[in-house]
């Protein structure tokens, strides 16, 4: 049983989705042992408490990045965390943090990486006029939004989309692929090879094609 | 009835697909009036001749880019071409050529632009470890593979894919979306607005969701 630490800054909807998928048995080999937030009013803190998961607001006020990240590391180590799950955590992590949990930090980004790294990915997609957007779960490395990609989802971009409508469509798929990535990871189905992710093909066949709203739309 | 000039360098499979879609009436408002190749042995030249379309090998030997492009422009103007369709034409076009046919040149690129511009897009995708790849039909501007996107397709990347197998999967969708883009263009359904393409929503609903092999795989 792997121990997950989740970092949030807001409502924590991806955290919630992973939690629900653990509860219902889709993710069987992991449990969330601690939730940390850099925002005191993050909605995800309440979700954690409602589910008897230890949750802490770690105040960044007046701290340098390394000092703050040291607090995070200490807390995650205290809880003997195997994997760190970034779920809307709106801070750049220090190299020290990333090295401490090398190849054990996951993030989700609302774009078909390597397109549209950084902030406001959905807006970037709309401005680029792409016809498909999506989300990517990836390992975190020192380079922003550039680590090995584990799972991706695809959604259509419609001609009348706003940043909100596109974000919502993408978010629905985030709630499916992030638990899927955690499941694959904690069932030891993922290998990193030449900086790429290798997943057993049967896993992909079983899971990949159910998470594409382009298909759902068709039905 | 719009007049198309097609530029090729090789087998011309996308040219062939557009031609077939004109023949069977999917594309009703266009006909291909001339095919030009910078390679004497391009298979597409034979396809053109077999279909009674005028086709020419324009020899680039010893010519500067502007001089060569002037020959292309002259021939395309002689045939009173409305739109220029790049179908595997393996030369960079000069600014002069692009200005001459401003907003009237289409290209297809085997990637989900803006990812993986330039050569060997499929190999780039494999090396990046993305889970979805695709193709993009776009207007040609001075910046390589960066003009407004008209239609895109999506295909899964499988864990045992080679450059060949992925390229073949993408190519099958190219043969669907390039005729679709030509159809939309020649039915005046496409507008360029803020450097983005606007297509009437009903067109998208009718066409977009049929060209996604991720869905086909599921059925």
Q: Which domain holds residue A57?
A: 1-102
Nearest CA to CA, how far is B145 from chain A (Å)?
Answer: 12
Q: Out of B131, B134, B197, whose CB is closest to A129?
A: B197
Question: What pLDDT is attached to residue A67?
Answer: 97
Peptide bond into A114 cis (omega under 30): yes
A162 contacts on B by Cβ (under 8 Å): none
User: B183: burial class by Cβ within 10 Å (0-12, 13-18, 19+)?
Assistant: buried
Question: What pLDDT is attached to residue B13?
Answer: 97
pLDDT digits (tens, 9 = 90+) for A116-153: 999 999 999 999 999 899 999 999 999 989 999 998 98
Query: Does A183 have pLDDT greater than 60?
Result: yes
Nearest CA to CA, how far is B199 from chain A (Å)?
Answer: 7
Residue A41 CB neighbours (<10 A): 9
- Quick one: average pLDDT of A175-192? 91
- State whether A190 and A171 are in the same domain: yes
- Quick one: average pLDDT of B175-184? 92
Question: What pLDDT is attached to residue B198?
Answer: 75
User: Cα–Cα distance between B29 and B11 in angstroms, integer?
Assistant: 25
CATH of the domain at A6: 3.40.50.170
Instruction: Give the C-alpha distances (Å, rounded to integers) separating B56 from A24, B67, B82, B173.
Output: 65, 17, 18, 28
**A134 close to A125: Cβ distance less than 8 angstroms:** no
Going A57 to A62 to A65 to A67, the CA torsion angle's sign is negative
Token digits of residue B164: 């060949």
pTM of the model: 0.88
- State whether B18 and B73 are in the same domain: yes
| Candidate list B109, B120, B138, B175, residue with the active-site label | B109
Query: Does B58 have pLDDT greater than 60?
Result: yes
Residue B145 CB neighbours (<10 A): 18
Token digits of residue B167: 């390229």
User: Cα–Cα distance between A19 and A25 in angstroms, integer?
Assistant: 10
Query: Does A46 have pLDDT greater than 80?
Result: yes
User: Cα–Cα distance between B163 and B123 in angstroms, integer?
Assistant: 6
- State whether A60 and A95 are in the same domain: yes
A158 contacts on B by Cβ (under 8 Å): 201, 204
- State whether B85 and B184 are in the same domain: no
pLDDT digits (tens, 9 = 90+) for B3-14: 999 999 999 999
**B3 close to B76: Cβ distance less than 8 angstroms:** no
B130 contacts on A by Cβ (under 8 Å): 112-114, 149, 152
| Share above pLDDT 70 across residues of chain B, in percent, rounded to a whole number | 91
Contact yes or no for B198 and A132 at CB 8 A: no
Query: Does A163 have pLDDT greater than 50?
Result: yes
- State whether A65 and A5 are in the same domain: yes
- Quick one: average pLDDT of B136-143? 94
Contact yes or no for A149 and B130 at CB 8 A: yes
Contact yes or no for B154 and A152 at CB 8 A: no
- Residue B129: partners with Cβ closer than 8 Å, 6 or more residues away: A148, A149, A195, A196, A197
Question: What pLDDT is attached to residue A72?
Answer: 98
- State whether A112 and A218 are in the same domain: yes
Q: In the predicted model, what is the mean pLDDT of chain B? A: 90
Instruction: Give the C-alpha distances (Å, rounded to integers) separating A51 from A28, A31, A42.
Output: 17, 12, 15
Nearest CA-CA partner of B161 in A191, A187, A198: A198
Last residue of a domain, one of A70, A102, A134: A102
Best of B113, B124, B131 to mutate (most A CBs within 10 Å, chain A): B131
Best of A111, A131, A201 to mutate (most B CBs within 10 Å, chain B): A131
Is the model more confident about B197 or about B174?
A: B174
- Quick one: average pLDDT of B35-56? 98
Respond yes or no: is residue A175 known to be catalytic: no
Query: Does A207 have pLDDT greater than 70?
Result: no
| Candidate list A16, A109, A138, A175, residue with the active-site label | A109
Q: Out of A127, A129, A209, whose CB is closest to B214?
A: A209
- Quick one: average pLDDT of B34-46? 98
Best of B116, B141, B159, B161 to mutate (most A CBs within 10 Å, chain A): B159
| Share above pLDDT 90 across residues of chain B, in percent, rounded to a whole number | 76
- State whether B186 and B134 are in the same domain: yes
Query: Does B219 have pLDDT greater than 50?
Result: no
Question: What pLDDT is attached to residue A200?
Answer: 63
Instruction: Say whether the ipTM exceeds 0.90.
Output: no
- State whether A159 and A207 are in the same domain: yes
Under the banding of pLDDT at 50, 70 and 90, the label for residue A65 is: very high
- Quick one: average pLDDT of B125-149? 93
- State whether A128 and A212 are in the same domain: yes
Question: What pLDDT is attached to residue A57?
Answer: 98
CB pairs under 8 A between A and B: 102
**A138 close to A109: Cβ distance less than 8 angstroms:** yes
Nearest CA to CA, how far is B91 from chain A (Å)?
Answer: 25
Residue A28 CB neighbours (<10 A): 12
Question: What pLDDT is attached to residue A219?
Answer: 33
Nearest CA-CA partner of A95 in A129, A143, A133: A143
**B110 close to B102: Cβ distance less than 8 angstroms:** no
Is the model more confident about B213 or about B85?
A: B85
Query: Does B214 have pLDDT greater than 60?
Result: no
Query: Does A51 have pLDDT greater than 90?
Result: yes
User: Cα–Cα distance between A35 and A79 in angstroms, integer?
Assistant: 10
Query: Does A208 have pLDDT greater than 60?
Result: no
- State whether A20 and A70 are in the same domain: yes
- State whether B136 and B43 are in the same domain: no
Q: Please state which of the ranges A191-200, B65-74, B137-146 shows the lowest mean pLDDT.
A: A191-200
Query: Does B49 have pLDDT greater than 70?
Result: yes
- Quick one: average pLDDT of B93-97? 97
Q: In the predicted model, what is the mean pLDDT of chain A? A: 90
- State whether B20 and B97 are in the same domain: yes
Under the banding of pLDDT at 50, 70 and 90, the label for residue B211 is: very low
Is the model more confident about A119 or about A204?
A: A119
User: Cα–Cα distance between A139 and A195 in angstroms, integer?
Assistant: 10
Query: Would you list which residues of chain B are within 8 Å, Cβ to Cβ, of chain A?
Result: 112-116, 127-132, 134, 136, 148-149, 151-152, 154, 156, 158-160, 195-201, 204, 208-210, 212, 214-215, 217-218
Last residue of a domain, one of A38, A68, A102: A102
A145 contacts on B by Cβ (under 8 Å): none
Contact yes or no for A217 and B209 at CB 8 A: yes
Q: Out of A159, A196, A201, whose CB is closest to B160?
A: A201
Q: What is the DSSP string of chain A?
A: -EEEEEEESS--HHHHHHHHHHHTTSS-SEEEEEEEESSTT-HHHHHHHHTT-EEEE---TT--HHHHHHHHHHHHHHTT-SEEEEES--SPPPHHHHHHTTT-EEEEESS-TTSS-SS-HHHHHHHHT-SEEEEEEEE--SSTT-SPEEEEEEEEPPTT--HHHHHHHHHHHHHHHHHHHHHHHHTT-EEEETTEEEE-HHHHHHHGGGS-HHHHHH-
Contact yes or no for B154 and A214 at CB 8 A: yes
Domain count, chain B: 2
**Strands A83-87 vs A54-57: parallel, antiparallel or unpaired:** unpaired
Last residue of a domain, one of B102, B122, B145: B102
User: Cα–Cα distance between B195 and B189 in angstroms, integer?
Assistant: 16
């Amino acid at each position: 049983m792997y121990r997950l630490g989740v970092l949030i800054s807001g409502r924590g909807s991806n955290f919630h989705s992973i939690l629900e998928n653990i509860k219902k048995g889709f993710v069987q080999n992991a449990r969330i042992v601690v939730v940390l937030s850099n925002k005191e009013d993050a909605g995800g803190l309440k979700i954690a408490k409602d589910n008897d998961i230890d949750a802490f607001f770690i105040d960044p006020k007046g701290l340098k990045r390394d000092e703050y990240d040291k607090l995070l590391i200490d807390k995650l180590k205290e809880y003997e965390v195997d994997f760190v799950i970034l779920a809307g955590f709106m801070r750049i992590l220090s190299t020290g943090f990333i090295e401490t949990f090398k190849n054990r930090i996951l993030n989700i980004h609302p774009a078909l990486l390597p397109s549209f790294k950084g902030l406001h990915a959905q807006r970037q997609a709309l401005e680029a006029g792409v016809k498909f957007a999506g989300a990517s779960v990836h390992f975190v490395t020192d380079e922003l939004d550039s680590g090995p990609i584990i799972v991706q989802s695809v959604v259509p971009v419609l001609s009348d989309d706003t940043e909100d409508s596109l974000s919502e469509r993408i978010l629905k798929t985030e709630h499916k692929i992030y638990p899927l990535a955690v499941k694959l990871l904690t069932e030891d189905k993922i290998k990193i090879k030449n900086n790429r992710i290798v997943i057993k093909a049967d896993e992909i066949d079983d899971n990949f094609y159910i998470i594409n709203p382009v298909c759902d739309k068709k039905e």
